[in-house]
Amino acid sequence: MAYPDDLLSEQEHVVVHSHPHFKMLIFPTLAFLVTLGAGIWLAILAKDAGSPWNTVGLIAIAVVALVLIVWLFLAPLVRWRTTHFIVTTDRLIAREGVLKRTGIDIPMGRINSVQFEHGLLDRVFGCGTLIIESASDEPLRFEDIPHVEKVHTVIYREVNDNPYDDYRPGTQQQTTPLPPQGGGHPPRGERRR
């Protein structure tokens, strides 16, 4: 799902838009499979028991399985789907939440440094943690960013290629020569002609 264009400024373009890495869904998926398997196994045991409580037992098993699936699988899936990490030409945007939405926008000109870190497991999955240091008190950490090294490079380039910066590497800044000081007298060491 693309970031809505009507939320961008006139000359702003999306450079990177991603959700957290699917790594964060591994344990919820395992919980879903274990819950489903245990629920089916318990339902078969309850049905074979042959007691008059079969229907009540099956309903109880189904309710517990449904609650566990919603809590352990669907909630993390919705949280993953509604978490966005966006880099535009003007700012860095992070949004998350369903019922309670939270977000942060960091203008590119306010970013002081960009770092990334990833351990062995993150390197296997191709993700990592992005650390943005801006004018705020503490650095902001964004976990499970896919292709974190590429995103790091993109942000670094966007910060350094910002057309609103005073300093642009590779171009010569023109300086206006100052008029001589002291009422038109030549500087020391020069003679009047």
Q: Does any domain span residue 121?
A: yes
Q: Does any domain span residue 57?
A: yes
Q: Which of 106, 121, 152 is the last residue of a domain?
A: 106
DSSP single-letter state for residue 178: P
CB atoms within 10 A of CB 153: 13
Sequence-separated (6 or more) residues with CB below 8 Å from residue 13: 88, 89
Sequence-separated (6 or more) residues with CB below 8 Å from residue 90: 9, 11, 12, 107, 108
Half-sphere exposure (CA, 13 Å, Cβ side) for 158? 25
Cα–Cα distance between 7 and 5 in angstroms, integer? Answer: 5
- Write out the chain's pLDDT in tens, 193 residues: 556 666 777 888 888 999 999 999 999 999 999 999 999 998 888 777 666 667 888 888 999 999 999 999 999 999 999 999 999 888 999 999 888 999 999 998 888 889 999 889 899 999 999 999 987 678 899 999 999 999 999 999 888 875 554 444 444 444 444 444 444 455 545 444 4
Q: Which two tokens stand for residue 115?
A: 């770092």
Q: What is the pLDDT of residue 12?
A: 85
67 and 124 share one domain: no
82 and 152 share one domain: no
Q: Does any domain span residue 151?
A: yes
Q: Do 15 and 87 touch, CB atoms closer than 8 A?
A: yes
Q: What is the pLDDT of residue 170?
A: 44
Q: What is the pLDDT of residue 162?
A: 55
119 and 58 share one domain: no
122 and 36 share one domain: no
Q: Do 134 and 119 touch, CB atoms closer than 8 A?
A: no
Q: Does any domain span residue 154?
A: yes
44 and 64 share one domain: yes
What predicted TM-score, i.e. pTM, was given to this entire model?
0.70
In the chain, the number of structural domains is 2
Q: What is the pLDDT of residue 52?
A: 66
Cα–Cα distance between 66 and 70 in angstroms, integer? Answer: 6
84 and 146 share one domain: no
Q: Does any domain span residue 167?
A: no
Q: Does any domain span residue 23?
A: yes
Q: How far is CA 11 from CA 5, 111, 186, in A?
A: 11, 20, 50
Q: What is the pLDDT of residue 58?
A: 86
119 and 95 share one domain: no
State which residues form the domain around 123: 108-162
Which of 116, 109, 114, 190 has the alpha carbon at shortest distance from 156? 114
48 and 126 share one domain: no
Q: What is the pLDDT of residue 164?
A: 53
Q: What is the pLDDT of residue 55?
A: 80
